[in-house]
Structure formats: structure tokens, C-alpha cells
Structure 1
Amino acid sequence: MLQKDGDIDEDVRHRISAGWLKWRQASGVLCDRRVPQKLKGKFYRTAIRPAMLYGAECWPTKSRHVQQLSVAEMRMLRWFCGHTRRDRVWNEVIWERVGMTPIDEKLTQHRLRWFGHVQRRPPEALVRSGVLKRVDKVKRGRGRPKLTWDESVKRDLKDCDISEEVVLDRSAWRLAINVSEP
């Protein structure tokens, strides 16, 4: 989904609706009270969350995009746990009950994994030159500059307190960001 202004709002909405579509297809299993909640969580992680995060590794996400994804996911999780917001059950309790991590952490993991793949490519590769190339001597328009993917990656690296070298090493980056679920 490409927007004229280069933003990803429409893509985020599309991915959320794709997640709800998968939810409706699997609601027979997810809403069944006889199915254990851990199993529902595993099913959710393998069927619905990938539909919501498909292609998200190259999104320059703003906090409102992460918030939209998080709200949609928590609505789904509360629903199959049998709770509403009125029950005032904390998000952390729901995540613990179904054995999941927040979607913003998974989004960061996906983006850093993709960054490692891009960095390991040879310098002449199209994906590397297209993503990491900066155009110089271009007159910038008024207002705040658009958030770019590499700025999102730098923010993720800073938030996780890891260096680029750790991300380039496939085994070390998993330990650095504490990957506990698939």
C-alpha cells in the first residue's frame, strides 16, 4: 500500500483488517471455552499475528501506528480470554495468561531482523542501495521531515541498547533483544 504522501496509515489499517479477517475465520477455536488459553495464544501467534505484521519490518512506524496495532491486538486477546475492558484486567495479566509478548516488541524484533538481513547483503545489492542511500543536496520542504526506516531502526537500536554489530551477528541479536517466543 503506497500513499501519495509516503505515509503508512493505510497499510497499518489494511494489516489490522487482515488480522480481524483471520480472527473471524478462527473465532470458532479462539472463542471456545473448552480450549486452553495457552493453546489459543499459540494459535493466535501462528495464524493472526503474522497476518497483522506482514511487511511491517520495513515500516517507519510512528507511535500512533504502534498504538493502533496494540489496541487491535488487545481487543482480540481480551475477547478470547473472556474479558472486557470493564473487567479492568491489566494487559500484562492477559499477556501472561496467553503466553505472549506485546506487539510493539515483536515489531521491533522484526525490524531489527530485517535490518540485519539488509546489512549482510553486498553493498551493490538493490535492497541495500535503495534502503540505505541518502540523497544529498535536495531542498527540503517546510515542516518536520518524514520519519524514515533507518531512523526507526536507529531508534530501535537505542531503545534496546544494542549496537549494529550485534544485529549483524544472527545468533547474538536474538540474545540481545531477549527473543522468547517465535
Structure 2
Amino acid sequence: MSISISKTKSLTISKEPIRFKLALNDQPIEQVMSFEYLGIIASSSRNTYDEVKAQVNKAARVSGCLHSTIWKNKCMSITSKARIYRTAVRPILTYAAETRADTSRTKRALRTTEMRTLRAIAGVTLWDRQRSSEIRERCDNMPDVVRWSRGRRREWRQHVERMQDDRLAKAAYKEKPNTTRPLGRPPKRWADSWTSSSQDIE
């Protein structure tokens, strides 16, 4: 197997930028702070907000393209529009949500984008001062995007637990760090996104 040096990048996971020299056949490999792979933005600081923000922008663009033709179409029922949202917009909004830990910022970004679309589907605006629960009920009882993602995350956890012990995902799930934790508040962990302590709506 041959490796392309120009297409290969290296990344170090750390709170503070760390210079890491890696070479292959005496040719240095470029070190980056973040890179995009299969639609996912991996960063050295494990900042999931940039990844969620990129997906939010993509989902907002798709929803904007459907605004005049679908959301404002008076010949279509709200149920049909809600199904189109589930099919065309929400998969973009929640892509790879099973494998990341949500924070308060990412939850707020997801809910804001979803409610903007659901208000367009229901034909209401912020000036109408309707509760989000009422709008979700009108839109075919649309579940909250954060709670829906949390359910998908639990399903992925169960899938990993059924894997063989030699699988890489199972090994990463069972592995425990053997070093001391650095000072400062630890980042939100993936396991904290599906345990009972994360049942709140925030």
C-alpha cells in the first residue's frame, strides 16, 4: 500500500497547540489544527461547535431553497411538509450526531435551526408568540431534535456494545486513560450525552 504524502495530514488532540513532527520516507507530513473528513470536522481541541455550525448552515441553506416551493405551498398539508423536513433537512442537521457529545451551544444551535423551519412549515412567525410545543404538535408531533439525536446516540451505544472485542470502536469505547487529567474543566464526554444525567431539556 502506498501513502500519498501530499494528501496525508497529522493532527494532535490537545487543549493547547502542540507541535508534532511526523515524517514518512524522510518527507515531513503537514500538521493541521483541523480537517474535514466525510462531512465531519475534526479539530485538535475537540471543538464540536464548529462541526455542528457547519451542518446547521448546510441545513439552513436546504431549508431556504424549499421555503417558497414547499414550506409556503398552500396546496400541501402540514403533514406532508413535516415528512419532507424529516427526509431532506433533519438528516443534514443531525449527521453523525450519534458519535459526538452535545453541549449547551450545540443544542441551542440545533433547536434554533429546527424551529425556524417548523415555524415556516406551520405558517407562523415569532410575532405570533406561539410556544414551540404547540408548533411541534401542529407539525405532525415533531420530536425535539436534541432528544431525537439522544435516542440515536443510545442506539449507537447499544450497537457498539454488541460488537466483538477486537473491533476498533469497541476498544475505544472500553478503553480507560492511564494518565492524569490536565487542569481545567474537562470537555463534554460522549458517554454524558446518553446517560440518565442528560435527560434534561437544556
Shift, 1:59, TM fit: 1.0
Contact 2:150-2:193 within 8 A present in 1 as well: no
Distance 2:66 2:88 in 1: 9
Higher-helix-fraction structure: 1
Distance 2:64 2:173 in 1: 36
Query: Structure 2: 5+ residue runs without aligned partners?
Result: 1-40
Match status 1:123 vs 2:162: no
Higher-strand-fraction structure: 2
Shift, 1:80, TM fit: 2.3
Specify which structure has the bigger relative contact order, considering alpha-carbon pairs within 8 angstroms and separated by 6 or more residues: 1
Q: Give the aligned partner of residue 128 of structure 2.
A: 87
Number of aligned residue pairs: give it. Answer: 158
Distance 1:29 1:66 in 2: 26
Identity of aligned residues (%): 25
Contact 1:132-1:150 within 8 A present in 2 as well: no
Q: Give the aligned partner of residue 3 of structure 1.
A: 43
TM-score w.r.t. the length of structure 1 is 0.81
Residues 29-48 of structure 1: matches in 2 within 5 Å? 29-48=70-89
Contact 2:97-2:153 within 8 A present in 1 as well: yes
Match status 1:132 vs 2:178: no
Specify whether residues 132 and 30 from structure 1 end up closer, same or farther in structure 2 by C-alpha distance, changes over 3 A only: farther
Specify whether residues 55 and 134 from structure 1 end up closer, same or farther in structure 2 by C-alpha distance, changes over 3 A only: same
1:112 to 148, 154, 161: 154
Match status 1:55 vs 2:96: yes
Shift, 1:63, TM fit: 2.1
Superimposed CA distance per residue, residues 87-136 of structure 1 (whole angstroms, 9 cap, x where no aligned partner): 00111111111111111110111111111111110111111112331211
Q: Give the aligned partner of residue 189 of structure 2.
A: 148
Distance 1:66 1:113 in 2: 19
Query: Structure 1: 5+ residue runs without aligned partners?
Result: 161-182
Superimposed CA distance per residue, residues 60-96 of structure 1 (whole angstroms, 9 cap, x where no aligned partner): 1112211110011001110222211110011111111
Q: Give the number of the structure whose alpha-carbon radius of gyration is greater.
A: 2
Amino acid at match of 2:190: W
Superimposed CA distance per residue, residues 17-54 of structure 1 (whole angstroms, 9 cap, x where no aligned partner): 12112213323112212211111111101111011011
Amino acid at match of 1:101: P
C-alpha RMSD of matched pairs (Å): 1.7
Q: Give the aligned partner of residue 65 of structure 2.
A: 25
Say which is worse superposed, 126-135 or 103-112, in terms of deviation. Answer: 126-135
Q: Give the aligned partner of residue 167 of structure 1.
A: none
The list of structure 1 runs, each at least 4 consecutive aligned residues, that deviate by more than 4 angstroms after superposition, is: none
